[in-house]
Structure 1
Amino acid sequence: MPAYYERRGFDDVQIGEWEGTNSSDDDSVGSMNDSFNLLSGVPQRLVTYTMPKTALLKSQKVNEVQRLTRFGDKGFVLEATISTPNAPYGRDFEADVMYIVYRGVGGDGDDDVV
């Protein structure tokens, strides 16, 4: 996964461990960033990185909370809440993104990840 961020020119990439895989795991809350709440039974992790400077903005620190859920028998859903706590002209900027990854049948009849 770090290669995904490196290809986009992000620096200082830190990927946390998946936590919260069962609803009785209350100890994991204290070890994670206090800016979000651990959803019961939903694995999640914190990813932080720095976006490079652009023509309009200086470099930005980014916090990304990723939540992982199953999508039937063939895949999963990765939901990410991405925030930039030091965004100019406001308290922060936040976006929610959803990636759906599943197995499908490719053109050659073999299973492919779509």
Structure 2
Amino acid sequence: MRIFPPMATGYRLIGAPVNLAGLELRDVRARIVTDDGRRVLVTEGEIVNLRREPNRPPPLSLSVRGANGLARYVWTTPAPKARLEGAETIAFSARLASPPEDGTEVFVRFAQAEDR
């Protein structure tokens, strides 16, 4: 699919997994901590290079969503490294001071060009 990306649509239609970036987010978790009396949302996880060759991870896009599923706050943070070696895994951490009170979940994905 990297050679001919338009084939990705066909693979999706038959239910096959498609990952053109060759990257995956794993073990993502979020928690609220108190820092100097302020609430801080800490989101952590791992970025995994699924390829055997080096890969450049894009920034991460994070959104705090409310109970209705709508984004309450969205931000972008750079990946912790500009280049991952083949099959390399690296930890990431993102912090948000004073997150929305009505946030119920955090959604993390790789930022697309239009997000940057």
TM bucket (normalised to shorter chain) is 0.3 to 0.5
Choose between structure 1 and 2 for higher RCO, CA contacts under 8 A separated by at least 6 residues.
Answer: 2
Normalized against structure 2, the TM-score is what? 0.33
Normalized against structure 1, the TM-score is what? 0.33
